[in-house]
Structures are given as structure tokens and as C-alpha cells.
Amino acid sequence: MTAAITTGTNIDVNTLVTQLMQVESQPLTVMQTTQQSYKTKITAYGQLQSALSGLSSSMSALQNTSTFQQNTTSVSDTSVLTATATSSAAAGTHTIEVQKLAAAQQLASGRFASTDTTVGTGTLTFEFGSNNSGVFTTNAAKNSFSINIDASNNTLAGVRDAINNANGGVRATIINDGAGYRLALAPADSGTSNSLRITTADGDGNATDASGLSQLAYDPAAAAGAGKNLTQNIAAQDATAVIDGITVTKPTNNISDAIPGLTLNLAKVALGAPVSVTVATNTAAITTALNSFVSAYNAFSSKAHTLTFYDASAKTAGDLQGDATANSVISQVRAVLTSSMSGLNGGLSSLSQVGIGLQADGTLALDSSKLNAALANPAFNVASLFATTGNSSDARVSYQSSASSTPPGSYAIAITQPATRGNLTASSAAPLTITAGVNDALNLTVNGQATSVTLSAGTYASADALSAEIQSKLNGSPALLQNGVSVNVSQSGGLLSIMSFNYGASSIVTGLGGSGAGLFGSSPVETDGANVAGTVNGVAATGNGQTLVSAEGLRVRISATAAGSLGTMTLNNGYAAQLASLIDSLTDTNTGAIASRTTGLTNSVNRLTDEETTFNERLTSIEANYRKQFSTLDAALSAMKTTSSFLTQQLAGLTTTSA
């Protein structure tokens, strides 16, 4: 290499060092190129993982069996009725003739001069039941309630607001009929069993006359003006419809329990003009879910191709071309979709049977006509082809859910303890007479929620009637209502029993007290609820209420009432469930193939960064040495040049002297 000379004597050190450092820096360029290739792959893996996540999200609906069990309804005359169907409704057509519409009772008071007119003080008690020729029978399923009227709310408007604020199931309004203001009362629910009986504890001492608060009393068994002081403008009425030739009577126009899974909303009477209601599978929802899956897979397939292809003509390659991990991930996903499922309980074993086919370019396509044919075939269960399903050999065991890691297969179920509910049972028969201030107050704690209620005074016709009153008051108490707690009160041989509706160890009825505690005898028996206990495949499982959870994450509901073997639960994973599980494992942030690969690449990037730093430090040292060496050489050459000039001058002088 020839160094540039500046003025004929000095070396061009900068140029020379720069050229030498370019040679020295070549390994650094290799490091930086390699590091960038690693970063490019990390970005590419992020894109691959994003495509996998999109594919996984698209399968959420397909993993849920309810997606395949949705139904649609069509009604021949929607002015008469409308209908909705749940997944449990059977496909078919029903004929329905609406003969009567349900109506709520409408009561009205006499006229008052204004909304500020004082009505009276005392207590208003509202009970729900049926009125048959003046005989009122309490509706055990509805809770009675009472409101207190004092000087703060004793006007007509105040009474209205107090009734509405109680949220007890009675609506109160004030209507000006042109001659005065009248209080209109109606139960929130229609039907003959929801008629009202309104009794008062009037502050003026007379609970039945037509003055004071008793102006609002309404006892169907009483005489007009003597406890029956409201006017009934509309009597409660049940709805009547002839469904598939069978007469059905219901308290509401919303009928949800006549045909399993089908809810009818009656709108008008149409005597002699039956309406047809057809229930069919909601194929649109299924098609939408499958199209979403197909689109997501095709997006994944396109991204996978872009990242791993090699274009020989252009001599360009995808960022993950030839990457073993990427190829393995893509191959595993495709393998699930092209495999044949065995052991499914739905008559199907491949995607092609429901119209999903692999195209020549590697994408999927959905044939809607083939899908609809599969959905219409009663021998096929399309849900089992995609979702995780559980099939029990014993009707007392039902599948609830499982973890993504729960292996498919058969699980033997056995219980050693059925789930039970907490209860409190009387030790002696209850008296049927309830006296205010003597034995009408009950204190109780149910499932940890304490409540206090006051029973209606009077002599009850039977222990059943008394148990209905206790159940109504307990289930209507705010403390239990607000916490979702309810009880069932029954009697056997006059012995009252209060049972929590909940199952499990938290189901407890305790803390009996109050003046009415004697209704349950001197030593009532408390029995706490228990969680179900048992095994799954011989291994102890965890019980919570009626739910048994295996160590593998299988959750089943046990309705059996005795210990013993309950057969087997067979768990099968369809395409969506298997693919979702695979994607979860591939994209796991700790152990997944993509995480492991990107962690390795990141470590390589970090290692090269450290090496680059070290190498740059070495280059700095090398450059400094080069500059020092060439500067020394330059100085030496300069000195030599000076000496040369001196010697030349001396020689020239000698020559002149000799001449």
C-alpha cells in the first residue's frame, strides 16, 4: 500500500489509518449483519404469533357447543304472538290458538280532593293469591310485604310513593278522573294467582272502615265498605292458549314452560285462527362462526407463506425461510386440520363432511350447501366435530367444563358423599294460630345472611298454609333478596322445615330466634349442607356444592342423592378444541416453541451487542496504535529529510571549496 505524501516529505496518516481500519472493521460488519438478521426473525416470529392468535380467537365460538345449538323461530302471524327458542328447543312446527290474554288486577280507591289530602297512618300489608268466590288463597311463590305510613308520608302522594319505593311487586299511580284524585293499584304480575289482598293496621283503631288508612283495605272475603274498600275495575285473568291441541292456562302472556326451550309472547286473542310457530337450527350463526374461522386460517396461511417462501426467479426469501421452528409450527397447525377425528360421538370425523375443504393454494373454503346438509342431518352432531364435549353414561352426571389441558378420554366417576342442602327441622308440630306480638317474629340466618320477619297474624287453615306464609316472608325479606338467598319451607306431620336452596358446605340454616321460634319446638334440629365428595378415575376430586372437579380440570355436576359409582364421562376434543390447545402450547410465553425460539434469538442479539462493544473498544485501541506508529514514522522521515538536506548542503559546500 502506498501512503499519500502531503508536501513531499510528510505521510498522509489519516488516509492511511482510515484505509487500514476499514480492513480491521470487516468482522464488525459481519456481526452487525448477523444481528440484524436475528432482529428480522424476531419481528417475523411476532407476525407469525399474531396470525396464530387471530386463528385462535376465531375458534372461540366453535369451541362453545351453544354456537351449534342456537335456534330460530318463524311465526305465521306476529300480530297474534311472537316466539323465541333456546338451544334446548326441538326443531319442528307447532299450532297455537290464543283464546285469552292474561290480565293483571286493577284496583282503585275512592276520590280524594288532592294529591296532598291526608289518607291516614298505620301499616299497609299486601298479599298475593287467588280469589275464588271470596275465598282468598295465598300464593306461596310470592312474597307479601308491608309498608309503614306515618306523618311523613300519610298523604295520597306519600302513600303512592311509599308503595312504589317498597318494590314489593305492586304499582301505585294517582289518576285524576275529573271529579277527584284516585289511587290506582295493580300487581306487577298478571294472572289469577297474583290478585291482591290488602289489610291495614289503621292508626285510628278501625282496620276495616272507610276512613283513615283502611280506605285502602281490600279483602275479597269482606263486605264492601267494611274491609273491601277499593273498587276492582279489572279482575285478574290467566292466559289461555290451545297448543298442538292441548289447552294451556298460564298467569302471564309470556309462556316459557309449555314447550321445552320455546317462549311464546301472546299479543292478541285470535279465536278459531291458529298460528303456526316453526323452530329450526340457526344455521346463519354457525355459518358466520365457520366463515370467521376459515378467514382467520387463510390469513394465517398467507402470512406463513410470506414468511417462509423462496422466490427462485427473483432470488428473494421470506424472513423465516428455512427456519426449522417456523416450519414445525406451521406443519403442526396444518396437520390438525387435515387429520381425521376418531371417537367423536356425532357421526362426523372430518372437516370435509361439513363443507370445509383445503384448496390447491393451501387455503380453506366453506361449501355452505354441504354444511346445511350436515346440519339438517339428525344423525350428525356438528358441535362435537369442533368443540369439547362430554358424554355421561349416567343421567345424574352432566358435563360442565374442562381445562384446555384436560386430556380427552373416559373418566370413571364415583361419589362417596352426595351434595346436600342445609336445613332446620322442627322438633314438634307448630300451632296454627299466629298472634301479633306473641309468636309472630322470626329471626334466622341462611347461608350466612341474617334476617328478621314478621308473620301475618291469624289462624291458618293448615300447616301447609303456615309454611307458605313463612316461606313468603323469608324470601321477601330484603336481607335475603339482596344477597340472592332463598329457602323452601315445608311441613311433614305438622313439623315445619326450612331448607336453603343452595347445595354445599356454605348452605346453613341457623340462628333461629324471635317470638316465633316456638313454632319449631323446643329443640329444632339443624343440619348443615355438604359438598359432593368423590373420585375421578380413582383419584380424589374437589367438591363444591354439586360440582366435582378432577385434578385434570374436568368439571361435572352431580345430581345423585346417594353414594356409589356413576359410570363414566367421556371427553372428546373436536377440531377447534384441539387446534386451540395446540396454539396455546405453541404460543405459551414460557414454554412455547415460538417463545423458546425468540428467546434464543434475543440472547444471540444481546451476545452480539456485547461482542460489538468489545470489538469497538479493540478497534479504538488499534487505531490509536496505528496513529502513534505512523506519526513516529512520519517524524523519523522528517528528521531524515532534514539530515539529508543538511548533508546535501555540506556536500555542496565542499564541492565549492574544492573548486
φ/ψ of residue 255, rounded to 5: -105, 110
Q: C-alpha grid cell for residue 310?
A: 423462496
Q: C-alpha grid cell for residue 496?
A: 315445619
Of the two residues 109 and 71, the one the predictor is more confident about is 109
Q: Which CATH architecture has domain 423-527?
A: Sandwich (2.60)
Q: What is the pLDDT of residue 90?
A: 87
Can you tell me the distance from the alpha carbon of 211 to that of 217, in angstroms, rounded to the nearest whole number?
10
Closest to 289 in 3D by CA, of 415, 386, 405, 170: 386
**Please, are residues 264 and 277 in contact by the beta-carbon 8 Å criterion?**
yes
Q: For a pLDDT cut of 70, what percent of the chain falls above it?
A: 98
Is residue 523 predicted with pLDDT exceeding 90? yes
- The pLDDT tens digits for 20-73 are 878 877 888 888 888 888 888 999 999 999 999 999 999 889 988 888 888 899
Q: C-alpha grid cell for residue 257?
A: 314452560
Kindly indicate the confidence band of residue 659, based on its pLDDT and cuts at 50, 70 and 90. Answer: low
Closest to 260 in 3D by CA, of 67, 75, 91: 91
Q: What is the dihedral of CA 35, 37, 42, 43, to 10 degrees?
A: 120
Calculate ∠ Cα 148-154-159, nearest 5°: 70
Strand partners, 240: 100, 249
DSSP codes, 427-456: SSPPPSEE-TTTS-EEEEEETTEEEEEEPP
Q: What is the pLDDT of residue 636?
A: 76
* Of the candidate ranges 116-120, 564-568, 654-658, the one whose mean pLDDT is the lowest: 654-658
Sequence-distant (6+) residues with CB within 8 A of 18 are none
Q: Is 358 left (phi over 0), alpha (psi -120 to 50) or beta?
A: beta
Is residue 642 predicted with pLDDT exceeding 80? no
The secondary structure of the chain in percent helix, strand, coil, rounded to multiples of 5, reads 35, 30, 35
Kindly indicate the confidence band of residue 1, based on its pLDDT and cuts at 50, 70 and 90. Answer: very low
**Please, are residues 439 and 470 in contact by the beta-carbon 8 Å criterion?**
no
Of the two residues 541 and 403, the one the predictor is more confident about is 541
Q: What is the pLDDT of residue 10?
A: 60
Q: What is the pLDDT of residue 7?
A: 40
Q: C-alpha grid cell for residue 27?
A: 468482522
Can you tell me the distance from the alpha carbon of 472 to that of 139, in angstroms, rounded to the nearest whole number?
8
Kindly indicate the confidence band of residue 5, based on its pLDDT and cuts at 50, 70 and 90. Answer: very low
Q: Which amino acid is at 551?
A: A
Decide: helix, strand or coil at residue 255. strand
Kindly indicate the confidence band of residue 4, based on its pLDDT and cuts at 50, 70 and 90. Answer: very low
Helices 26-58 and 324-338: crossing angle in degrees, nearest 10, is: 20
- The pLDDT tens digits for 188-228 are 999 999 999 999 999 999 999 999 999 999 999 899 989 99
Question: In what helix (H) or strand (E) does residue 302 lie, and over which residues does it extend?
Answer: helix 283-308
Kindly indicate the confidence band of residue 657, based on its pLDDT and cuts at 50, 70 and 90. Answer: low
φ/ψ of residue 110, rounded to 5: -75, 180
- The pLDDT tens digits for 120-164 are 999 999 999 999 888 888 887 788 899 999 999 999 999 999 999
Q: What is the mean pLDDT of the chain?
A: 90
DSSP structural state of residue 23: H
Decide: helix, strand or coil at residue 346. coil
pTM (2 d.p.) = 0.64
**Please, are residues 163 and 172 in contact by the beta-carbon 8 Å criterion?**
yes
Is residue 2 predicted with pLDDT exceeding 60? no
φ/ψ of residue 570, rounded to 5: -100, 120
Closest to 627 in 3D by CA, of 197, 2, 17, 189: 17
Q: Which amino acid is at 307?
A: L
Q: Which amino acid is at 284?
A: A
| Radius of gyration of the chain from its Cα atoms, rounded to whole angstroms | 43
Is residue 77 predicted with pLDDT exceeding 90? yes
Structural domain boundaries in the chain: 1-68+283-387+574-659, 71-102+239-281, 106-234, 390-419+532-573, 423-527
- The pLDDT tens digits for 385-429 are 998 889 899 999 999 989 878 898 999 999 999 999 999 999 999
Q: For a pLDDT cut of 90, what percent of the chain falls above it?
A: 65
φ/ψ of residue 130, rounded to 5: -110, 145
Strand partners, 358: 364
- The pLDDT tens digits for 465-486 are 999 989 988 988 888 988 889 9
Can you tell me the distance from the alpha carbon of 331 to that of 338, in angstroms, rounded to the nearest whole number?
10
- The pLDDT tens digits for 434-453 are 998 999 999 999 999 999 99
